[in-house]
Amino acid sequence: MNTETLLIHAARQTATAAHSVSPPLVRTSTTVFASYDAYKQAQGGLVFDGPRYGRSGTSTTFELQRAMARIANTEACIATGSGLAAITAVLAAHAGPGHHILVGAGVYGPTRVFCDDVLIPSGTDVEYFAHDVDVSPLLRENTSLVFVETPASLTMEMWDVPAICAAAHDRGVPVACDATWGTPVFFDAHALGIDISIHAATKFINGHSDLLLGLATGTLDALAGVRAYCDRNGTHAAPDTCWLTLRGLRTLAVRMERHQRSAFAVARWLQSQSGVQRVLFPALETDPGYKLWQSQFSGAAGPFTVELAPCSEEAFTHFIDSLSLFGLGTSWGGFESLVMPAVPHHLRALATPANTPRLVRFHIGLESPQDLCDDLAAALAAVRGDGGTGGQLQEAGIG
């Protein structure tokens, strides 16, 4: 089955039993068993997606986990309370004194904070590496995980995922990837060699900006340590957010298509505007990551980052405050367009107003792209101090 079909038909086992199209929302703290034998089997934890105790999930959780595993073309999935909880569970499950973990330098800021403030002080050797270096010489005897995010948060660099996986697997090292940007609709993580694919379902997968949820997919073997970590730490998701995410899943493919079309149109339009220095979006032919994007992704819904021409702090503030359709917020993947100033976490310590490029991150929502460009044109004109408009949006083809 194609992904579009799976998104509609997966996760409906319990719906069939309830004579409904949508799986029932099952909330419970306590699981009760029909027999002592069933109890012993469940508590032994042998069934990955089986009821044990409310914390590890109810039938609603298992429906979402099974659906996500099918969509990602793998065996299993674990739902966690947030995207960050999935990331930290994967990292922590591979960490410990004497372990060495390689982490892509441009990962989501809080991922780095977890490495710097939790893993390193407790004895894990975390080494950051850049997107354009060969990972092979960095792998050591004690390397327990390679962790990347592609494209990198804010700076949007692409990682050569198949090359990293080949080098790591050669040494028996698993690779985990924060694949939130591509979603399984545009990024077939496991087919590219990734062992554990992580999604902040908070973003595109749920798509309605009304919950936080993380999903980690992989084989039963690859996820065994992560599952044990989640069990020990109570990291699992609540059934309510799983139910809402199942609802979001049904429309994921059509939303991604629309986000993609609008993101391309707005990104290309921005490239032609005075006051815009650079658009960092690997799906544009002009982007240094274009070739890697083309070979690893089947689409791009954004978000993307824009470097404005050098301007004063006052003008930059004026640009952001002049936008009326773009909410000022640190998220993306929902129905609504968003903007935020983008100083990559790992460059923050070095940043001064004088040396920091004027970067803004945009998420292009489901509004009319013409209206969004009109809004951006007015904000750019306000910064330039002219009354000019950006003109009609040319519907752009997809690269």
Ligand X SMILES: Cc1ncc(COP(=O)(O)O)c(C=O)c1O
Q: Does 108 bind ligand X (CB under 6 A)?
A: yes
Q: How far is the CB of 198 from ligand X (least distance, A)?
A: 7
Minimum CB distance to ligand X smaller for 269 or for 304: 304
Q: How far is the CB of 393 from ligand X (least distance, A)?
A: 27
Quote the Cα angle for 172-175-177, to 5°: 175
Given phi > 0 = left and psi -120 to 50 = alpha, else beta, which region is 133? beta
Residues in CB range of 128: below 8 A, 6 or more apart: 102, 103, 104, 105, 112, 346
Minimum CB distance to ligand X smaller for 294 or for 331: 331
Q: Which two tokens stand for residue 361?
A: 């991150």
40 is catalytic: no
- Give the whole-angstrom CA distance, residue 97 versus residue 119: 9
- From the list 17-25, 32-40, 78-86, 383-391, the region that binds ligand X by CB under 6 A is 78-86
Query: Of residues 162-181, which lie at the interface with ligand X (CB under 6 A)?
Result: 178, 180
Minimum CB distance to ligand X smaller for 156 or for 383: 156
Q: How far is the CB of 296 from ligand X (least distance, A)?
A: 16
Minimum CB distance to ligand X smaller for 185 or for 379: 185
SS3 (DSSP) at 160: coil
Minimum CB distance to ligand X smaller for 47 or for 130: 130
Binding mask 199-228 for ligand X (x = CB under 6 A): -x-x---------x-x--------------
Greatest CA separation for the chain: 77
Q: Nearest to residue 48, comparing CAs of 233, 243, 247, 222?
A: 222
Cα torsion 222, 226, 231, 234: sign: negative
Query: Of residues 185-204, which lie at the interface with ligand X (CB under 6 A)?
Result: 200, 202
Q: How far is the CB of 161 from ligand X (least distance, A)?
A: 15
Minimum CB distance to ligand X smaller for 178 or for 374: 178
For tokens 């028996």, the residue is 172
Binding mask 320-349 for ligand X (x = CB under 6 A): -----------x------------------
Q: How far is the CB of 79 from ligand X (least distance, A)?
A: 11
108 is catalytic: yes
Q: Does 135 bind ligand X (CB under 6 A)?
A: no
Minimum CB distance to ligand X smaller for 155 or for 370: 155
Q: How far from chain centre, in Å, is Cα 111?
A: 12
- Give the whole-angstrom CA distance, residue 171 versus residue 60: 38
The residue count for binding ligand X (CB under 6 A) is: 13
Binding mask 80-99 for ligand X (x = CB under 6 A): --xxx---------------
Catalytic residue among 203, 261, 358, 361: 203
- From the list 77-85, 155-163, 234-242, 383-391, the region that binds ligand X by CB under 6 A is 77-85
Q: Does 61 bind ligand X (CB under 6 A)?
A: no
Q: Rounded to the nearest 10 degrees, how much is the dihedral formed by the CA atoms of 240, 85, 59, 223?
A: 160
Sequence-distant contacts of 21-25: CB under 8 A, at least 24 apart: 22/246, 22/247, 23/59, 23/60, 23/63, 23/243, 23/246, 24/59, 24/60, 25/60, 25/239, 25/240, 25/243
334 and 203 Cβ atoms separated by less than 8 Å: yes
**Residue number with the shortest CB distance to ligand X?**
83
SS3 (DSSP) at 380: helix
- Give the whole-angstrom CA distance, residue 281 versus residue 2: 27
For tokens 């079909």, the residue is 5
Catalytic residue among 66, 70, 108, 188: 108
174 and 148 Cβ atoms separated by less than 8 Å: no
Query: Of residues 258-287, which lie at the interface with ligand X (CB under 6 A)?
Result: none
132 is catalytic: no
Catalytic residue among 12, 49, 52, 55: 55
Q: How far is the CB of 153 from ligand X (least distance, A)?
A: 5
70 is catalytic: no
Active site residues: 55, 108, 178, 203
User: Which residues of the shown chain bind ligand X in the complex (CB under 6 A)?
Assistant: 82-84, 108, 149, 153, 178, 180, 200, 202, 212, 214, 331
